[in-house]
Amino acid sequence: MEKMQSIIKPPAGFSFGLKEVWQYRELFYFFTWRDIKVKYKQAYLGVFWALLQPLGMMVIFTFLFSKTWKIDTGIIQYPIFVLAGLICWNLFSSSVSHAAESMIQHAGIINKIYFPRIIIPGSSVLVALFDFMMGFIVFIIFCLIYKQPVHWPSVWCFPAGIIIVLIAAFGAGTFLSALNVKYRDFRYTIGFFLQVMFFASQVIYPLQSIQQSWLKYILAINPVNAAIELFRSAFAGGYADTTTVYIGIASAFLLLLIGIYYFRKTEAYFADIV
């Protein structure tokens, strides 16, 4: 009598795999919580580093660009202006950099058992979201200190901006994590790529300060700019440059589709080459 065998394999074709990820949600939570604990376990100040990093950069940028170069930020005070940009950028940068390395770092478990591989870069994004929430606390505190008025009907712009960053970061992170498995040298270009993207993001300057309209359209492709634009609009009377927002949203979803498509296309070979 032949023995029955059960073969578990990733879904064929293009699929988000949400049902399968939900079935393995406990493993998703485990990876996320484990990485958060490992990240701050040996640090004397622990999670306070997530608070100090955006605060320190805010002080430096405020001194350099507000006091020295006199950048005009309208009705938004520059410390609030730059802090809004920093926490959005840090969420994207941290998500992408950690997700890009995640498949290689989990090589041991990938070779032993099957689970939806997309959980690995996904958990890296959630770890970065935890750091973002710490930075957002600093952001709220400084809004109170500087008595920055908020346009309450536009408060929805905060979660909308976060969602845009998460979509873009997850898409870019899954793509790079799969690319890193096959092309290990590519990992050394990610830092440079993120540095270029930082200066292409309106973290320390407003896009409105750029005179060339063609350059504005190019920079609007960066989805982080759409998120920052929404964040700041809550302090600017609800005004946001809709062109920047719409182009950024389209870019974020395009990154998501490309990232998941490439990840699904290559994940069947991860265990062989990781």
pTM of the model: 0.89
Q: How confident is the model at residue 5 (pLDDT cuts 50, 70, 90)?
A: very low
Question: What average pLDDT does the structure give for the chain?
Answer: 86
Cα separation of 259 and 266, whole Å?
Answer: 11
Beta-carbon contacts of 13 under 8 Å, excluding residues fewer than 6 positions away, are 264
CA 114 to chain CA centroid, Å, is 27
What pLDDT, on the 0 to 100 scale, is given for residue 273?
59
Tokens representing residue 1 in the block: 């009598």
User: Over the stretch 80-127, which tens digit does the pLDDT of each residue have?
Assistant: 999 999 999 999 999 999 999 989 888 888 888 888 889 999 999 999
User: Over the stretch 199-248, which tens digit does the pLDDT of each residue have?
Assistant: 999 999 998 888 898 999 999 999 999 999 999 998 877 788 999 999 99
